[in-house]
Amino acid sequence: MSTLPDITDFVAGLPKAELHVHHVGSASARIVGGLAERHPGTVPSDPEELRKFYEFRDFAHFIEVYLAVVDLVKTPDDIRYLTYEVAREMAEGQQLRYAELTCTPYTSVRPHEDGVGMPIEAYTEAIEDARVAAQRDFGLVLQWIYDIPGESGLPAADATLDYALNHRPEGLVGFGLGGPEIGVPRPQFAPHFQQALSAGLHSVPHAGETTGPDTVWDSLRLLGAERIGHGTSSAQDPALLAHLAETGVPLEVCPSSNIATRAVASLAEHPIVAFRDAGVTITVNSDDPPMFGTDLNREYVIAADLLGLDESGVADLSRAAVNASWAPDDVKVRILGEIDAYVAR
């Protein structure tokens, strides 16, 4: 029997951490409306028209919306507004206490066709100002993962590494690799990840989302992956599952995203149960939540339903995310204490 009706209220109030959520991909219709008013053009600012524009239809529509939002983020003030308002919605609507937000500075810093682009110093100042304000105003601790857009190849990797090493914001903890996986082999980025690791950043590439287990193996062996973004196809390789379980490398599981991108045919076929049964560490995440018509609360409810979890099991999912995070130790202790207190009530 589904646990969905019983667990929803518990999830809504549960203190949580999120590890796999994208900066631009977290812009809700409300936030996009604010940006559209600043930069009139292709994206409607009227709330009703914007709601229809934002209604998820298929993956091609997601790409259309995502790129439209990228084009709306033109100035450092836009970056600050986007970041701060995303933090507001995380804290107020989903009880997030900590999030590692995956940023792709390359798409904002490099010159676009219309000549728009900002200095990396201005980008860094904008996200850091929002980070400090979010902790002050909402009690939400934000940290950053800088993400190579894989489809842009080695020039984007070179630039992203430069941003991370030579313009490093205080909140930067991780170095990632996103974008399409097909036709973007992981080994070419090994030198970049080695330098990032040497500089004290953590390695967290996307892998095995729309490609097979070999992508995950490459990420572990060549990129030094300490967590895997998605890792969906890991379930196809028993040796890989055993390795992930033995080493404790967590998977960042995003159920609704996997359905939307057709990485998995249906929730009933989602490999999250196989991961759990193999002893793999699971964290539950929302990826690009408004664009996939979801949020972290909903992803927890879905995971609880698939895994057959009660309130105690759902609380353990939240603890797993905190423990797998790169939050400072005092932040981890505080959030784990909040989860325990919430469960006790």
What's the confidence (pLDDT) of residue 344?
96
Choice among 18, 85, 181, 209 that is catalytic:
209
What's the confidence (pLDDT) of residue 197?
98
Residue 105 has phi, psi (to 5 degrees) of: -60, -25
What's the confidence (pLDDT) of residue 148?
97
First to last CA, the chain: 25
Inform me whether the pLDDT recorded for 164 exceeds 80. Answer: yes
Q: Is 209 a catalytic residue?
A: yes
Domains, the chain, ranges and CATH?
4-26+95-344 (3.20.20.140)
CB 172 within 8 A of CB 144: yes
Inform me whether the pLDDT recorded for 2 exceeds 50. Answer: no
- Residues 280-328 have pLDDT tens digits of 999 999 999 998 889 999 999 999 999 999 999 999 999 999 999 999 9
What's the confidence (pLDDT) of residue 295?
96
Output the CA–CA distances (angstroms, integers) from residue 175 to 142, 167, 216, in the order listed.
Answer: 15, 14, 16
What's the confidence (pLDDT) of residue 114?
55
Order of strands across the sheet that contains 172-178: 16-22, 96-103, 141-149, 172-178, 202-207, 228-230, 251-253, 282-284
What's the confidence (pLDDT) of residue 251?
98
Q: What does the pLDDT average to over 109-136?
A: 87
pLDDT band at residue 65 using 50, 70 and 90 as cut-offs = confident
Task: Collect all residues with Cβ–Cβ distance below 8 Å to 81 and sequence separation of at least 6.
Answer: 31, 34, 35
Inform me whether the pLDDT recorded for 4 exceeds 60. Answer: no
Q: What does the pLDDT average to over 196-209?
A: 98
| Distance in angstroms (rounded) separating the CA atoms of residues 167 and 288 | 26
| Distance in angstroms (rounded) separating the CA atoms of residues 266 and 262 | 8
| Residue whose entry in the numeric block shows the structure tokens 């090994």 | 190
* DSSP one-letter string for 1-25: ---HHHHHHHHHHS-EEEEEEETGG
Q: How many CB atoms lie within 10 A of CB 272?
A: 22
